[in-house]
Structure 1
Amino acid sequence: MLNDFGISWGIYYEDNDADDIFTAFKGESFSFHQILSIDCNIGFTPTFITIAAMATTKVYVVYYSLYRHVEIMAREVQRGANSVQGVEATIWQVPETLSDVILQKMKVPAKAADVPEIRPEQLLDADGFLFGFPSRFGVMAAQSKAFFDATSELWKRQALAGKPAGIFWSTGFHGGGQELTALTAITQLAHHGMIYVPLGYTFGSGMFEMSEVKGGSAYGAGTYAADGSREPTELELQQAFHQGKYVAEITKKLKNKTT
């Protein structure tokens, strides 16, 4: 689509009086329609027009959250991804599988009204992903697994193969699956042929912080919910932001090399 392109262009005119026009427009972003309009109305005959188009890199942040811990992380991941020039990060949530009656009994807060639910086929539109979920006995929550199970048609065609993906999560405490949840989630990416992008130790000194409780690992960003009252700390949010930015940068590089 035309809206996916940023156009950097320059025009050289034999008439020196047009230098001010060149200076005014050089390096600006225009649609193809705008360039044609400028060309028609500018009043000079250009010697050449150079157009360089770069498609927007689309990153989808897809999460499931029951008590908002992962949602808070997801929004920070999205912010990090959107901080990369040329990247458009969109946040989505997977469908809920629990009934309203059960959710009410569990005193679950309302889902974020500003975050749409995603359908499996919509994954095709993204260049890269960050998947977030709470841990349930060392694996991703059933709602996230149900969503991946629903991607079988994409799996049959290997439609997501070669697309980079990172993961982030929430657990109750340090023995609740901070690494195991990530390790078991990698299988979903592997069967689709997606490229798993671990965080490594790119977060720097924050990875070695020992003076405060911090979730996450080399596999991705994480947080602790404890009894449900604990929310992601500033350090955990910084790590989430970094992961979003890091995965977005890699996604952008891969997209530019294949286009």
Structure 2
Amino acid sequence: MAREIQRGANSVEGVEATLWQVAETLPSVVLQKMKAPPKPDDVPVIRPEQLVEADGFLFGFPSRFGVMAAQCKAFFDATNSLWETQALAGKPAGIFWSTGFHGGGQELTALTAITQLAHHGMLFVPLGYTFGSGMFEIDEVKGGSSYGAGTYAGDGTRKPTELELQQAFYQGKYVSEITKKLSKN
């Protein structure tokens, strides 16, 4: 999903989207018991202070017990100095996510993630129903909602469907177009 979001963002002329990941906070023994997939080696770990360099954001969250995973929350908790100075205020931000199954917290993850954006004064850019007929698809299992793109990961073996990837690409492009309009650069 994240790579497709990035591809969509980079399809906008003049936009250079960078893919980052947050630091792992769980011990390897816990990750093994959870059967967590390995982190990609080609995606650097972001530090909170690097956020100020961006004109806009698309934050992706895995869901754990109906809310963003602890690693993502720990990252946002470490942005206190940015919050104190409101360094991210006015910057557009969208969200996307993956959950394990239907009822695993797709929209709850989105709604609880929005609080992180609000406290920083970021401008939440929802997908709304701008994706068109794909938003109303009921003939296949599809994650996502008007809050953003999403997927159901199952036990980690389910890959995003073509429709979910199309929605992710669209969201990357959509948020980047808005970010470009609002950017001072």
- TM-score, with length taken from structure 2: 0.97
The structure with higher relative contact order (CA 8 Å, sep 6+) is 2
Matched, 1:161 2:89: yes
Q: Give 1:147's aligned residue.
A: 75
Query: What displacement does 1:175 show?
Result: 1.1
Match of 1:191 among 97, 119, 124: 119
Which structure has more strand as a fraction of its residues? Answer: 1
Q: Give 2:5's aligned residue.
A: 77
Matched, 1:217 2:145: yes
What are the superposed Cα offsets for residues 138-180 of structure 1, whole Å, 9 maximum, x if unpaired? Answer: 2100000000000000000000000000000011222111111
- SS of structure 1 residue aligned to 2:94: strand
Residue identity opposite 1:93 in structure 2: Q
- TM-score, with length taken from structure 1: 0.70
Residue identity opposite 1:248 in structure 2: S
Match of 2:34 among 106, 109, 115: 106
Residue identity opposite 2:42 in structure 1: D
Residue identity opposite 1:228 in structure 2: G
Matched, 1:174 2:84: no
Residue identity opposite 2:171 in structure 1: Q
Residue identity opposite 2:16 in structure 1: E
Where does structure 1 lack aligned partners over 5 or more consecutive residues? Answer: 1-72
Question: Are the aligned partners of 2:100 and 2:153 in contact in 1 as well (CA < 8 Å)?
Answer: yes
Q: Which of structures 1 and 2 has the bigger CA Rg?
A: 1
Residue identity opposite 1:163 in structure 2: K
Question: Are the aligned partners of 2:37 and 2:156 in contact in 1 as well (CA < 8 Å)?
Answer: no
- Report the RMSD for the aligned CA atoms in angstroms: 1.1
